[in-house]
Amino acid sequence: MPSTVQFFKKEIFIISSFLLLFGYTVSSYSSGPAGTVLSCSRSSCHHFIPDKTSINIKLVEKWSGLNVHDGFYKPNTEYIIEINGTNKDSLEHFGFQTMISTGTGATGGTLIASSPKTNTTLIGANPTIAHNTVIEGVKKGLFKINFEWIAPNPGVGEINFASILNAVNMDESASGDQPSEIVSLMLKEKIDLKIQPNRTIKASSIYPNPCSNVLNIETASATKFMATVYDVAGRQVMAPSHQNSIDVSSLSNGLYILRLQSEEGQQTVSFIKQ
């Protein structure tokens, strides 16, 4: 595991190299050293008690807000991944890990952390996101966190999200922690002959450019779109919007990328904030 991944109190989950196909091991040591891969197994270190903690994965298409129920993803499309969990003993603190893998060995897209309490990294070629410090539940016994996923280019094929959740009792030992079973969400690549994922939105334009306050968006189509602003390093700097006018006055002066996405396709346009 890269040395940038830090081990904090009671909640770090580690991928075991010999169980790379979603074989998780979990650590809740109070002070594991940074960058060290611990070899704790769930049954021995965590005194695993079945059915205490459960977890499920929800996939939402970002630009439309629609839940994905058909088991398919669209290449080059932005999604919100929602992890929900429950603990029957009403434990209030949690850690989690989600790893993406593919049947072809290709990288399964890009993960974007939406919370300062999470980190993203690669384990082999597998994008992975996990907590970097203990996360409090939304209330006793309930856990929820969101992060973003940009699906990979066409041709990657089937993708698997594998997630695990650990409910911890904060007693500075592994005893009494209650990790869940590993839950998988399998998705097949959607091949749409009518709507190509890399197709450009018709005749879209933005103005004024350079812009000081409000950036206006015009498209030739009446189709609903999602507009997302990124800096030149690829980091999202503004919340996605369905509006034709975006207030960019809070941005620092410089060059930015506006990504437009709709059912017809997608387009990226650069603009200057001054």
**For the residues of 48-75, what is the DSSP string, one character each?**
--TTSEEEEEEEEETTT--B--SSEE-T
**E strands in 33-141:** 53-61, 72-73, 78-87, 93-102, 110-112, 118-123, 126-131, 135-136
Nearest to 171 by CA among 145, 143, 134, 142: 134
Give the residue carrying structure tokens 């974007």: 112
Report all structural domains of the chain as residue ranges with CATH numbers, in order of start.
Answer: 13-189 (2.60.40.4060), 205-273 (2.60.40.3080)
Regions of the chain where pLDDT drops below 70: 1-50, 191-203, 221-223, 233
Name the 3-class secondary structure at 241.
Answer: strand
Given this model, what pLDDT does residue 5 score? 31
Given this model, what pLDDT does residue 106 score? 84
pLDDT tens by residue, 13-49: 333 332 333 333 444 333 222 222 223 334 444 445 6
> Mean of the per-residue pLDDT values for the chain?
76
Given this model, what pLDDT does residue 96 score? 92
Structure tokens at 227: 């507009």
pTM, 2 dp: 0.60
